[in-house]
Amino acid sequence: MKIGFYLDFSHLTNFSHDDFNKGLLGISGTDSSFIRVVNSLTLRQLDVTLFASGTITSNTLKIKKVVSLSEATQMAIADKFTHLIFVYKEGIDLQNAIHLANNSSLKMSVWAQNPAGKFYLDFFAKANSLKNIIYVEQHDANQVRHHITFNKAIVIPNGIEKEIYANKVIQISKENKVCFLGSLTYSKGFHLLAKAWPEVRKVVPDAKLIILGSGKLYDNKAILGPLGLGESEYEREYIMPYLGNNKQTLIENGVDVKGLINRNQLLQILPECKVVCINPNIYGSLESCSVSSLESQMLGIPVVAGNAGGNLCTILDRKTGFLTVPEKLQLYIIKLLADKELAEEFGTQARKHALGKYELQQVIDIWESFLVRNDTSKSKVRINGFWKDPKIVAKEIVRLLTFKKFLKRH
């Protein structure tokens, strides 16, 4: 059985898999999750090939350099691969690749780190070569209960290494440090924390904001503004009104910009923080299964994030952190800064939650069952926990009624 994975690495410059394994590179959650899975399956002696566009080197992975998903699909068909998994990225290349596979025995699966819209869901439904849509959290999969592609949906969450993130006793910091962990772009919501930050400082004057991230996280060719955070327009419109227009005003407002860091640096800096803020945005592009939230929780640090999207599953509200609307962001940050016992309680539960569901080898077990044994019993989409969501209940009713009509016709 030959298994292929395709990922577009063209947004990265000279990616070294070996340096990543050593914790020397900082990349996005989607990219790191992809590499973790390919690496772990390879270590389990599966015949795995990474089809990659861009410049990537490795001493341990089998890599075939391609310029597109379509080329990867052609090569996989020619070399008689059984399965090709690719990260969802809309565009003509995806459509061409699926059409190529439709005329072959190659099985395709789309890894939906970001959910697809209706056009692509309809397209996936008609594609006989596309066997599965792999969602990374139950929340995203449940959003398509009413759509015919639900029959192709499975759930395999992102995972991280317990031997790296859970190898020390949890010790909540005594300092009032808050960390923002993620990309400095509009969709990741840093501007919402920037707006809330002056209110936090009014109540907790010694609070410090540590920024671990950059506008370069998803594109290391991006040009940053004068603050060194995000692109100039984003800084000017959404950050400067609250944190000032130069690096000195950032310091005066208790802000320490670390920028794009690697894993080893993260493991040193993050435990010094009492609270981690993950994407507080609740509109537009939402988190699916935030690797930043997994890292924080496995380290035993409570998380404050937006109460939408995959955060509703990845973070347990009032158990491992707080899920909130942007208008109340400062209230929950202040609450955790002021109550060390609560922060310790949440931190303990956070690690327990992360180890129970997102530990990497458990996740790789699910991948192996799916790929090798075609067993999806561990990756079924479950409605448990969503019965209180009227939208999902309505979608389930639509699904059942549609299925009933189908049975009558046949």
pLDDT digits (tens, 9 = 90+) for 239-263: 999 999 999 999 999 999 999 899 9
pLDDT digits (tens, 9 = 90+) for 44-69: 999 999 999 988 999 999 999 999 99
Instruction: Please count the other Cβ atoms lying within 10 Å of the Cβ belonging to residue 61.
Output: 18
Please give the model's pTM, rounded to 2 decimal places.
0.94
Domain parsing of the chain, residue ranges? 2-159+361-404, 162-350
Answer for the pair 49, 73: CB distance below 8 angstroms, yes or no: no
Q: Where are the beta strands (DSSP E) in 125-274?
A: 130-135, 153-155, 177-181, 208-212, 255-259
Answer for the pair 185, 281: CB distance below 8 angstroms, yes or no: no
Lowest mean pLDDT among 118-132, 197-211, 220-234, 312-326: 220-234
User: What homologous superfamily is domain 162-350 in, according to CATH?
Assistant: Glycogen Phosphorylase B; (3.40.50.2000)
Quote the percentage of the chain above a pLDDT of 90: 82
pLDDT of residue 195: 98
Q: What is the mean pLDDT of the chain?
A: 93
pLDDT digits (tens, 9 = 90+) for 376-385: 988 999 887 7
Instruction: Report d(CA 11, CA 3) in Å as an integer.
Output: 24
Please compute the mean of the pLDDT values over residues 329-342 and round it to a whole number. Answer: 98
pLDDT of residue 26: 86
Please compute the mean of the pLDDT values over residues 295-320 and round it to a whole number. Answer: 97
Quote the percentage of the chain above a pLDDT of 70: 98
pLDDT of residue 110: 97
pLDDT at residue 201 greater than cutoff 80: yes
Instruction: Report d(CA 317, CA 315) in Å as an integer.
Output: 6
Write out 294-329 in H/E/C secondary structure: HHHHHCCCCEEEECCCCHHHHCCECCCEEEECHHHH
pLDDT at residue 285 greater than cutoff 80: no
**CATH number of 2-159+361-404: 3.50.50.60, 3.40.50.2300, 3.20.20.70, 3.40.50.2000?**
3.40.50.2000
| Cα distances (angstroms) measured from residue 169 to each of 165, 340, 344 | 11, 16, 12
pLDDT of residue 404: 58
Helix (H/G/I), strand (E/B), else coil: 184: coil
pLDDT of residue 229: 92
Please compute the mean of the pLDDT values over residues 124-130 and round it to a whole number. Answer: 96
Question: Running DSSP on this structure, what letter comes out for residue 23?
Answer: T
In the numeric block, which tokens belong to residue 277? 């803020």
pLDDT of residue 410: 39
- Please determine whether the domains at 2-159+361-404 and 162-350 fall in the same fold group of CATH: yes
pLDDT digits (tens, 9 = 90+) for 64-118: 999 999 999 999 999 999 999 999 988 889 999 999 999 999 999 999 998 899 9
pLDDT at residue 409 greater than cutoff 70: no
Helix (H/G/I), strand (E/B), else coil: 73: helix
Instruction: Please tell me the chain's helix, strand, coil percentages from 3-state DSSP, rounded to the nearest 5.
Output: 45, 20, 35
Instruction: Report d(CA 103, CA 81) in Å as an integer.
Output: 14
pLDDT digits (tens, 9 = 90+) for 161-181: 999 999 999 999 999 999 999
- Could you tell me the pLDDT band of residue 408, with boundaries at 50, 70 and 90? low
